[in-house]
Amino acid sequence: MSSPKVLFGFHAVGVRLKTAPASIIEIYFEPTRRDARMRGFLEKANDAGVRLIEADGLRLSKLCGSHGHQGVAARVQALAQINSLDELLEQLEDAQADKPLAARDVPLLLVLDGVTDPHNLGACLRVADGAGVQAVIAPKDHAGGINATVAKVASGAAETVPYFMVTNLARTLNELKERNIWIIGTSDVAPKTIYQADLKGPIALVLGAEGEGMRQLTAKTCDELVSIPMRGAVESLNVSVASGVCLYEAVRQRST
């Protein structure tokens, strides 16, 4: 069994409390915080039968490795995860085969090339969860891993969205193509906008880090490049904001 890990912040711990309370070993909370948010949180934890331990701010900060714990932290067991991207895609294909056409869960994947900042990664995971993305993919040598800061910013999405770090991103994109998944990359110089692209079918949206964008080989591997219209003075959006714009355009198209 994997070693226990620490989650902190109301969102991250609250999502685990909601989705898998039996996996929580214990919750630490700051007793001096008695506001409505803390009272409601503790009531839910008590209802779930989770062990509660009082801890001052200093102890919580040491436990979390951060001062942004909001007075709440939890030691939890790791949840069972899908082991590989191939396993996930096979599950999606099996699910599609078992359902009528209108109910198919059409693949919607997010690929991040060069996103190393934990706050950006956490925010992208949160957007991905909200848009119903089945997985987030990143290269091992040009990406950040999941740590406590990522989990905190993701507000629970680090627990719900599979995150796969692959050895060779271009090869992985080509393998997605073999599964009939259309690869759409974002580029500031692409003449076609995200709003002109067809996002209804199986797609993987590829975004690069703010400023540098995608690597050249990644861009060349994409089936199509699109841009986000910029009407003001700034040249680009933060990668998590750009992810939200693109993913929710896919959600909009698929809901019509």
Q: What pLDDT score was predicted for residue 86?
A: 85
Q: What pLDDT score was predicted for residue 1?
A: 47
Taking only the tens place, the pLDDT of each residue in 228-247 is: 998 888 777 899 999 999 99
Query: What predicted TM-score, i.e. pTM, was given to this entire model?
Result: 0.73
Domains delineated in the chain:
5-76 (3.30.1330.30), 85-255 (3.40.1280.10)
pLDDT classification of 97: cutoffs 50, 70, 90: low
CA dist., res. 123 & res. 94, Å (int):
30
pLDDT classification of 2: cutoffs 50, 70, 90: low
Q: What pLDDT score was predicted for residue 193?
A: 96
